[in-house]
Structure 1
Amino acid sequence: MSEYEDVCALVPTRNEAATIADVVDGLYDVGIGHVLVVDGNSRDDTPQIAEAHGAEVVQQTGDGKGQAVRQGVERIDESYILLLDGDGTNPPEQAPRLLGPLVGGDAEHVVGDRTADMQPGAMSGLNQFGNRLINRAFRRIHGEDYGDILSGYRAFTAESFDRMFLSAEGFGIETEMAVECARHEIPVEVVPTTYRPRPEGSETNLHPISDGARIIVTLYSLAKTSNPLFYFGSIGAGFGAVGTALAVWIGYEWFGRGISHEALTVVAGVVLLLGVQLLIFGVLSDLVVTLHREQTRRIERLNEED
């Protein structure tokens, strides 16, 4: 019997023929009971190699990593899920680090922090800068520190995944999972992991600029349900700043040069009023979200008592 008989390793892949065999073998070597590979229409022999090494292989029905993760989880019957990339950057021998807190009942979601041991050449300088920027933004917006929210090496309970609302198709899936953990107050633990460079012959599916922009947009847009005060307040502050700047310029024109701008005065007033209204709306929305969380906690406590 495998040591982690109630664990399924979920490996989304696309053109990972150079690495998938080592990943699957490494997972079985540490005692994972079931390896599921969701292949995103690879142009190489990735699915055949994975199947030859004992993995269950299914063809992805859609596009993007996010869709592959959701499709894979729907097929999994085990209680614990280990998610990792098939490109060899996430060492499968470190899987017990992530599974330990789950099996021990200390957490429902575990994030592997790649920054703890990032090997030379594993991530470009641009990607490292973007990673730091996004993690800082997440801490500021959602008030939680999950170390490395963009990490694709993580483990979670099937029950906690069912509580998440996930819609991202591509690499934004990790960001959505982090936001949902914060929003639903899912117990999260961060463990250090190694991040290795991709071997020669293995090409990345990540596009730093376009995917990074999508992740930032996803992170910001999700703030309207988890931190509405920040979301609406920041938009309101933007309108307020524009309205104030316009009003200052109108005042200078009037008092300094004797030139009146009646139409622009109306515009400045409307923009300022809109900024104030958005700020008030953010405060009220934050109050509703806070009350909802309190009510949810009370219901959960009552269910536990029953």
Structure 2
Amino acid sequence: MRIAVLIPCHNEAPTVQKVVADFRHALPEAEVWVFDNASVDDTADLAAQAGARVRRVSAKGKGNVVRAMFRDVDADIYVMADGDDTYPAASARVLIQDVADGRADMVVGTRLESHDHASFRRFHGFGNRLVRGCIGALFGHPVRDVLSGYRVFSRRFVKSMPVLSRGFEIETEMTVFALSNGFVLSERTIEYGTRPDGSESKLNTYRDGMRVLKTILFLFKDMRPLLFFGVLSLLCVLAGLGFGAFVIHEFTQTGLVTHPSTAVLAVAFTLVGVVALATGLILDTVNRRSNEILRLITDQVLARDRSSE
């Protein structure tokens, strides 16, 4: 099987050579790629010197880099790890096994069970647990580490996924895409390290955290439209019935409607609820047909690739 190691980097000159060397040692049969995301240091040159194939991505943001990696690299198994030397290359062989054996389409290296005290900045652990809880509640599948950047993918997953995110919310998008489209996701515990001196995290706790939560909400709307709009419809109808009950009670007691604005509000809430339900039904049908077409196209592309080999 062709294995590609994909390393997204932005200003990782202090660590990129070691990361490339570690993966070349752990997976000597693999081709190591470094995707340099508009670095202003010597990241690209140092990666090339270490033996990696280097591609430059001018559009800033990890999501843009992942889009380029999935588009430009051809392999059967894809290993993705950050270039900050916090993910152990020695664990790559274990992560690959589930995909190689056909037991999973995406394997996530989970960090939360085994890491140094200084591995996470303040609130990062809480943020990860919050995101994990949201995804578990909305998509019905518990995931131990949603935001891990150490992952292994099958070719089918990589060539099926339309990457929409631009920044660090890409890990959330990949997790949700797998859960929503019938891909098998598994997790393996890894030893998560700390950044060495001179290496700085590009993640902004609050800004990128809000982006991740917004991404979860929009992906839930896009991938579970019937449930999303169904809940909205139920809330609107209940509100309409609540206001309407007050108006009806008043009318039965006095024969008058002294609060016409309440009656209008009740009708408005009820109509919005009906429209929301209809919207959810239509979008759910469209979503199902789109997923069927996407899977058919992907299957045809992969079958053509296998026949050409």
Answer yes or no: is the 8 Å Cα contact 1:165–1:180 preserved in 2: no
* Amino acid of the structure 2 residue aligned with 1:24: V
1:8 aligns to what SS in structure 2?
Answer: strand
Aligned residue number for residue 274 of structure 1: 272
Q: Which SS does the other structure have where 1:81 is aligned? A: strand
Aligned with 2:211 (options 209, 214, 223): 214
Q: 1:292, 1:139 → 2: CA distance?
A: 24
Q: Residues 184-234 of structure 1: CA distance to partner in whole angstroms, max 9, x if unpaired?
A: 211221111122222222111111211111111111111234322331133
5+ residue gaps, structure 1: none
Aligned with 1:169 (options 166, 169, 187) = 166
Superposed displacement of residue 158, structure 1: 2.1
Deviations 1:113-145 (A, max 9, x none): 111212211113412111111111112222223
Q: Which deviations, in whole Å up to 9, do the C-alpha atoms of 1:124-178 show, x marking residues without a partner?
A: 3412111111111112222223322221110012222111222111112111211
* Matching residue of 1:64: 61
Name the CA shift for 1:68/1:274 in 2 (closer, same or farther; >3 Å). same
Q: Cα offset for 1:105?
A: 2.1
Q: CA deviation at 1:43?
A: 1.6
Q: Counterpart of 2:306?
A: none
Partner of 2:190: 193
Corresponding residue number in structure 2 for 1:111: 108
Q: In structure 2, which of residues 92, 95, 116 is the aligned counterpart of residue 95 of structure 1?
A: 92
Instruction: Report the counterpart of residue 124 of structure 2 in structure 1.
Output: 127
Per the normalisation by structure 1, the TM-score is: 0.84
- From the superposition, tell whether residues 265 and 64 of structure 1 become closer, same or farther in structure 2 (CA, over 3 Å): same
Letter in 1 for 2:182: E
State the one-letter code of the partner of 2:267.
G
Q: Give the alignment partner of residue 13 of structure 1, picking from 9, 12, 16.
A: 9
Tell me which of 71, 75, 78 is aligned to 2:75: 78
C-alpha contact 2:13 2:43 (8 A) present in aligned 1: yes
Q: Say which SS state the counterpart of residue 11 (structure 2) adopts.
A: coil
Give the direction of change, closer, same or farther, for the CA distance of 1:62–1:291 in structure 2 (3 Å limit): closer
Structure 2's unaligned 5+ residue stretches are 304-309
SS of residue in 2 equivalent to 1:194: coil
Q: Percent identity?
A: 31
- Distance in 1, matches of 2:264 and 2:113, equals 54
Judging changes above 3 Å, is the alpha-carbon distance between structure 1 residues 7 and 238 closer, same or farther for their aligned structure 2 residues?
same
User: What value does the CA root-mean-square deviation take over the aligned residues?
Assistant: 3.3
Cα distance in structure 1, aligned partners of 2:158 and 2:89: 21
Alignment CA distance shift 1:234-1:119 (3 Å): farther
Deviations 1:74-103 (A, max 9, x none): 221221110011111211111112111112
Q: Tell me, in whole angstroms, the C-alpha distance in 2 between the residues paired with 1:40 and 1:263.
A: 56
2:9 is matched by which residue type in structure 1? T
Q: Which amino acid aligns with 1:72?
A: M
Q: Which amino acid aligns with 2:72?
A: R
After TM superposition, where is structure 1 displaced by more than 4 Å over at least 4 residues in a row?
A: 240-255, 283-298
> Aligned residue for 1:22?
18
Q: Are 2:144 and 1:147 aligned?
A: yes
Q: Is the 8 A contact 2:78 2:153 kept in 1?
A: yes
Taking a change above 3 Å as real, the CA distance of residues 197 and 238 of structure 1, as seen in their structure-2 partners, is: farther
Q: Does the Cα contact within 8 Å between 1:229 and 1:282 map onto a contact in 2?
A: yes
**Partner SS for 2:48:** helix
Report deviation, 1:182.
Answer: 1.8
Shift of 1:281: 4.6
The C-alpha deviation readout for 1:42-81, integer Å capped at 9, x for no partner, is 1221111111111111111322111101112222122111
SS for the counterpart of 2:114 is: strand
SS in 2 for 1:27: helix
Q: Secondary structure at the match of 2:263?
A: helix
Distance 1:296 1:211 in 2: 30
State the alpha-carbon separation in 2 of the partners of residues 260 and 186 from structure 1.
57
